[in-house]
């Protein structure tokens, strides 16, 4: 067996253990009784440790060197070569940190996340700070260690763990451009919407069972296959499981069906990406989704690009009306709030707000740019934990003209930092930009795409995405993948053009 | 770290991997979409292989020898000593088979089980035989290898994998005694029941939601804690998950609520055993359930001993009536079929039948004795695969006076052999005998037990079981555990006395 084949074996094991963990995490978030948490945490920790052991095994390092020699000697196929590149990337991240740092980090992150849950609810920054300060020190240590191992700047090295290939140098250019564009644009949109009659709010209640049924119908239209996936409920919507068994979740609010439906469409975008990954590279690094931003691009392409367009609502509004107007639904009947035009206008309302996860697509980048700037400063050491509330207030004022009334709706709102995840936030907005650029390209290449969406016809779009993105998995670096799919490197033009056409056009 | 401590660590890892696998198996049987089967099989196989690797690691063998020296030097506590004994037992089974036999066995068993599903449905013994013959050869190889490694006769060595401590020498005595008792007894019971008016059959439909609600109420009365467990649906009822998160399942038949309720009470008995295992020995071999027969004793004690008694029905009948007579249930109202006396009489109907899993407690041992005899002959080489249909027919005629109309309701009805499980069947009847002996002992020691059950009061019984059985886990060998709990080694007297009192008394 060649070194490359031996590597495939080890990474298949890693993928199987990762798949097992993914199902256990889904279970945790959806059906596990509260008393099972401790045992489950033990199982998940064990799987983590075992994966770490496999990744840090000395023999694996030797095999990688041998396989890289085979790459240099052109003994491997292009996919195999890319697979070795991705293996090396994972190896570099897993081996960048000394074992005691990994252990200390994991302990501090768990502790901080626990404290955060209560601190957020009670807007108690002082309590959070006490748990976050030691974690921040370890995050900086981690960034330094990854920096040394990967030859990247410390914050870039963290970003590389979620979105390999993107660095601050490139993100700064894109975000600066957006920061120049958005404030004026937002003012114009708010002005325009203020000058129009407000859309009608559909009146509930919207029974959970009806919302679920509607979600399933829409998911199937988008291309979701229930023989290979599920729809369930959890506190926060997510997409989990494995490619052959993709499980998305949502949460239902009986006074607002749109929030759940839109979450389902978003998660369905993630799920379709997973399902479209190439089966022949299943369980290998090269066969996995490219990055967090590419993943987010697939969810946002479905939710924001395809399903907040006027065409989608002319298809979906009758289904929504039907779902909530049956005799036993307690719903509103076929009233004016359920016209396609009105529902579409509801979906496009823009309003600056404190909370990122509730933000519309126009103000969302502001939330990200705020966090991105703070993360850079935190890692550079220019900002301390104690400075966060003030810096947050300043940033919200600058980006959105808002002053959070407390830290709970300010710098404590997200779980990311509390869990030690620094470097992830940029992926959200990169994903939005990629989505816009890909959808623009798809529209140019698929004749009648819009007319199709108005009929609930997603086949052509999905087929384009399968071909351009899903089937390529991690075959190419992100920018190369984006360039192949859309004809150019990632920029902000398509996103800006999309916003202008949708909100001012 | 001492050798013993190192062993505890390794076995904790094994337990965590086993716990992860248990949850993945539950998921498979309850909620997994069909398309997820292949990926899941890969995850489960990987976990199996990893556990096998841990158990066959040369260093583990050395540690065991060191720890056994510590036992001999009395350096360990009694629980630790018992833990080493149980570790050695697992080690002996895991290391008894050469790796190629393990692989060949697992492959042949999977293949045979697949064939069996269709062969049973179509009563096609010829198809089954083709897949079973190579498996049977491997089962015999396995028995021979375990025999050599464990110093037990081949069939005893297989039994030892499920029910350590029980051998044919002892089982033969007990089963021969039962075989002498049951035919006459059965004739008397049938005669008695034929002479009475048949009980009234409750008329459905019994809506699934009502059955589920009733089940949950009864489970809680028995002591099931939903913060540490779940009730779900699957094709066959089972008890799965882990001790901190015990998940039982049932299946609902809207024309027959009793079958589901009784399955739930049975599985609840299993669940209570798991929940009652000592938390301080969680994740160690000595902290796990004693054996398959002990496990079955806990389910049968709840289902057969406690919940088919007249007392239980005087508590449960009103709940059953209430569950199925509400205005929107479509149910039968407060009719005569729902009196405690009538429902109890329904629960005690005896009728010889072809199918083991549908059998009443009087005829059940006949099904087991038939299979036990055939297994002994198969392993001894006195019976070949091709002989099974004929031998089955003869056995059914001898034990129950019935002639199955086809192999689907004959020798193809159970999954065990098709999956390579030979040596398991005796545990069912041993469990029934242990249940009778334990319940007899509990009744003698708990004042007012019966009166309590008539009030739905299970606390005293559960507390007795926790003390005598659950908290002891695998601290003692089976017969010692039984003797400590009931004052004598396992025999058939309590079971026979129970049957006589219940069916002829």
Q: Is A18 on the interface with B (CB under 8 A)?
A: no
Per DSSP, the three-state class of A315 is helix
Whether the CB of B50 is below 8 Å from some CB of chain A: the reply is yes
Q: CB–CB of A230 and B13 under 8 A?
A: no
pTM of the model: 0.94
The answer to whether the CB of A130 falls within 8 A of the CB of A351 is: no
Collect all residues of chain A within an 8 Å Cβ-Cβ radius of residue B19: 39, 42-43
The pLDDT assigned to B468 comes to 98
CA distance B10 to chain A (A): 11
| pLDDT the model gives residue B204 | 87
**Cβ partners under 8 Å of residue B78, min gap 6:** B475
DSSP annotation of A288 reads: S
Q: Is B244 on the interface with A (CB under 8 A)?
A: yes
Q: How many residues does chain B have?
A: 505
Task: Measure CB to CB from residue B227 to each of A17, A20, A35 and give the nearest one.
Answer: A35
CB-CB contact of B449 with B460 (8 Å) = yes
Nearest to A121 by CA among A412, A390, A391: A412
Evaluate whether B352 touches B402 at the Cβ level (below 8 Å): yes
pLDDT of residue B330: 47
For residue A39, give the nearest of B36, B230, B244 by CB distance: B244
Distance CA(A444)–CA(B271), nearest Å, equals 60
Note the pLDDT of residue A329: 43
Name, in order, each residue with C-beta under 8 angstroms of B281's C-beta and a sequence gap of 6 or more: B79, B83, B287, B473
Determine contact, residues B427/B416, Cβ cutoff 8 Å.
Answer: no
Which of A31, A33, A245 lies at the smallest CB-CB distance from B36? Answer: A245
> Residue B179: pLDDT above 90?
yes
Structure tokens at A19: 């798949």
Distance from CA of A236 to the nearest CA of B (A): 20
Contacts of A283 in chain B (CB under 8 A): 42
Buried residues in B450-483 as b, exposed as e (16+ CB within 10 A): eebbbebbbebbbebbbebbbebbbbbbbeebbe
The structure tokens listed for B476 are: 């003692």
- Please state, in angstroms and rounded to a whole number, the distance separating the CA atoms of residues B120 and B136: 18
Cβ of B245 and A16 within 8 Å?
no
Bridge partners (DSSP) of residue A250 are: A233
The whole-angstrom distance between A152's CA and the closest CA on chain B is 35
CA distance B54 to chain A (A): 12
What's the pLDDT at A204?
87
Q: How far apart are CA B180 and CA A470, in angstroms?
A: 68
- Chain segment A3-43, per-residue pLDDT in tens: 999 999 999 999 999 999 999 999 999 999 999 999 999 99
d(CA B299, CA B219): 12
CB burial of A385-412 (b: ≥16 within 10 Å; e: otherwise) equals beebbebbbebbeebbebebeebbbbbb
Which residues lie across from B240 on neighbouring strands?
A: B247
Residues of chain A with pLDDT under 70: 326-334
Contact by Cβ (8 Å): B52, B94: yes
A416, A422 contact by CB (below 8 A): yes
Q: Please list, in sequence order, all residues whose beta carbon lies within 8 angstroms of the beta carbon of residue B150, skipping any fewer than 6 positions away.
A: B92, B93, B96, B157, B160
* Cβ neighbours of A27 in B, within 8 Å: 23, 27
> What residues in A contact B47, CB-CB < 8 Å?
16-17, 20
Query: CB-CB: which of B23, B39, B242 is closest to A242?
Result: B39
Residue of B9, B10, B11, B16 to mutate, testing the A interface (most A Cβ within 10 Å of its Cβ): B16
DSSP A129-184: HHHHHHHHHHHHHHHHHHHHHHTS-HHHHHHTTTSTT--HHHHHHHHHHHHHHHHH
Q: Which two tokens stand for residue B148?
A: 């050599």
Paired tokens of A247: 């499980």
Please determine, for residue B329, whether its predicted confidence score (pLDDT) is greater than 50.
no
Searching chain A, which residue's CA lies closest to the CA of residue B279? A39
Structural Rg of chain A based on CA atoms = 23
- The answer to whether A267 is a known catalytic residue is yes
Average per-residue pLDDT in chain B?
Answer: 96
Chain B partners within 8 Å of A17 (Cβ) = 43, 46-47
* Residue of B39, B226, B230 with shortest CB distance to A245: B39
* Nearest CB partner across the interface for B24, out of A23, A32, A33: A23
Report the alpha-carbon distance of residue A140 to residue A153 in Å, rounded.
12
- What gap in Å lies between CA B500 and CA B486, rounded to an integer? 20
User: Which pLDDT score is estimated for A505?
Assistant: 87
Return the pLDDT at B64: 98
B40 touches chain A (CB under 8 A): yes
- pLDDT tens digit string along A38-93? 999 999 999 999 999 999 999 999 999 999 999 999 999 999 999 999 999 999 99
Quick one: B236 exposed, middle or buried, by C-beta within 10 A (0-12, 13-18, 19+)?
exposed
Kindly tell me if the per-residue pLDDT of B334 is higher than 70: no
Per-residue pLDDT averaged across B227-249, rounded? 97
pLDDT over 90 percentage in chain A: 96
- Give how far B202 is from chain A: nearest CA, Å: 31
CB atoms inside a 10 Å sphere around CB A169: 9
Q: What's the rounded Cα separation, in Å, for the pair A41 and A24? A: 10
Q: Are B372 and B171 in contact (CB under 8 A)?
A: yes
**Tokens coding B125:** 């013994």
Identify all chain B residues contacting A21, using CB atoms and an 8 Å cutoff.
20
Residue B23 has pLDDT above 80, yes or no: yes
Which chain B residues are Cβ-neighbours of A231 within 8 angstroms? none
At B85 the pLDDT is 98
List residues bridging with A245 in a β-sheet.
A242
- When CB atoms are compared, the residue of B24, B39, B230 closest to A244 is B39
Q: B267, B296, B311, B375: which is the annotated catalytic residue?
A: B267
Q: Hunting for tokens 């049924």 — which residue is that?
A: A213
Cβ of B226 under 8 Å from any chain A Cβ? yes
Which chain A residue is nearest to residue B54, measuring alpha carbons?
A: A50
Segment B82-121, tens digit of pLDDT: 999 999 999 999 999 998 999 899 999 999 999 999 999 9
Q: Which 258-287 residues of chain A touch chain B by CB within 8 A?
A: 283
Give the residue from B406, B334, B326, B414 showing the smallest Cα distance to B367: B414
> Are A33 and B242 within 8 A, CB to CB?
no
Residues contacting residue A304 through CB under 8 Å, at least 6 positions apart: A361, A432, A435
Query: Which residues of B are less than 8 Å from A31 in CB distance?
Result: 31, 230
Flag whether residue A380 sits within 8 Å of chain B, measured between CB atoms.
no
Inter-chain Cβ pairs, chain A and chain B, closer than 8 A: 104
Q: What is the DSSP string of A336-353?
A: GGGSHHHHHHHHT-----
pLDDT digits (tens, 9 = 90+) for A233-259: 999 999 999 999 999 999 999 999 999
Q: Which of A8, A68, A267, A303 is catalytic?
A: A267
CA distance, residue B41 to nearest chain A CA (Å):
10
**Helices of type H across A381-458:** 388-400, 426-445, 449-453
Residues of B in contact with A43 (CB under 8 A): 16-17, 19-20, 23
Q: Answer whether A31 touches B (CB < 8 Å).
A: yes
* Omega prior to A205 cis, within 30 of 0: yes
Q: Do A225 and B35 touch (CB under 8 A)?
A: yes
Predicted pLDDT of residue B327: 53
- A16 in contact with B at a CB cutoff of 8 Å? yes
Per-residue pLDDT, A327: 53
Query: Looking at the complex, does the CB of residue A502 fall below 8 Å from at least one CB of chain B?
Result: no
Cα dihedral A461/A465/A471/A473 (nearest 10): -160
When CB atoms are compared, the residue of A27, A31, A227 closest to B35 is A227
Cα–Cα dist A19/B38, whole Å: 12
User: A228: which chain B residues are within 8 Å (Cβ-Cβ)?
Assistant: 33, 35-36
pLDDT digits (tens, 9 = 90+) for B375-431: 999 999 999 999 999 999 999 999 999 999 999 999 999 999 999 999 999 999 999
> Would you give the end-to-end CA distance of chain B in angstroms?
61
B contacts of A34 (beta carbons < 8 Å): 227
């Amino acid at each position: 067996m060649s070194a490359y084949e031996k590597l495939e074996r080890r990474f298949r094991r890693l993928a199987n253990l990762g798949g097992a963990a993914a199902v256990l995490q889904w279970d945790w978030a959806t059906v596990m009784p509260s008393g099972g948490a401790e045992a489950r945490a033990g199982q998940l920790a064990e799987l983590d440790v075992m994966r770490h052991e496999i990744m840090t095994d000395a023999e694996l390092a030797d095999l990688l060197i041998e396989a890289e020699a085979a790459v240099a000697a052109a003994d491997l196929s292009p996919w195999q070569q890319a697979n070795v590149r991705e293996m090396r990337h994972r190896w570099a991240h897993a081996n960048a940190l000394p074992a005691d740092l990994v252990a200390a980090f994991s302990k501090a992150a768990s502790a901080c996340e626990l404290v955060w849950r209560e601190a957020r609810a009670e807007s108690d920054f002082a309590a959070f700070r006490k748990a976050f300060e030691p974690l921040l020190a370890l995050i900086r240590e981690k960034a330094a260690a990854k920096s040394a191992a990967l030859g990247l700047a410390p914050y870039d090295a963290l970003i590389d763990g979620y979105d390999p290939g993107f660095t601050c140098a490139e993100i700064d250019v894109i975000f600066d451009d957006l920061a120049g564009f958005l404030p004026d644009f937002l003012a114009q949109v708010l002005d325009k919407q203020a000058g129009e009659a407000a859309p009608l709010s559909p009146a509930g209640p919207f029974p959970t069972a009806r919302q679920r049924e509607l979600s399933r119908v829409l998911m199937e239209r988008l291309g979701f296959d229930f023989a290979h996936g599920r729809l369930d409920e959890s506190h926060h919507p997510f997409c989990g499981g494995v490619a052959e068994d993709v499980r998305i979740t949502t949460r239902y609010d009986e006074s607002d069906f749109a929030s759940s439906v839109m979450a389902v469409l978003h998660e369905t975008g993630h799920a379709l990406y997973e399902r479209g990954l190439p089966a022949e590279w299943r369980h290998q690094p090269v066969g996995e989704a490219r990055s967090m931003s590419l993943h987010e691009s697939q969810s946002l392409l479905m939710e924001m690009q395809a399903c907040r367009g006027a065409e989608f609502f002319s298809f979906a509004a009758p289904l929504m009306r039907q779902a909530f107007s049956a005799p036993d639904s307690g719903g509103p009947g076929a009233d004016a709030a359920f016209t396609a035009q009105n529902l579409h206008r509801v979906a496009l309302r823009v309003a600056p707000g404190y909370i990122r996860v509730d933000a519309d697509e126009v103000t969302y980048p502001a939330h990200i740019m705020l966090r991105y700037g703070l993360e850079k400063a935190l890692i550079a050491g220019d900002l301390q934990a104690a400075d966060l509330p003030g810096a947050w207030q300043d940033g919200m004022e600058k980006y959105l003209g808002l002053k959070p009334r407390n830290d709970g709706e300010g710098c404590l709102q997200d779980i990311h930092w509390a869990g030690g995840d620094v470097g992830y936030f940029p992926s959200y907005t990169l994903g939005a930009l990629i989505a816009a650029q890909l959808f623009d390209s798809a529209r140019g290449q698929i004749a009648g795409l819009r007319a199709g969406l108005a009929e609930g016809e997603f086949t052509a779009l999905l087929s384009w995405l399968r071909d351009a993105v899903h089937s390529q998995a991690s075959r190419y670096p992100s920018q190369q993948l984006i360039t192949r799919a859309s004809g150019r490197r990632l920029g902000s033009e398509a996103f800006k053009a999309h916003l202008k056409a949708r909100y001012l056009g």
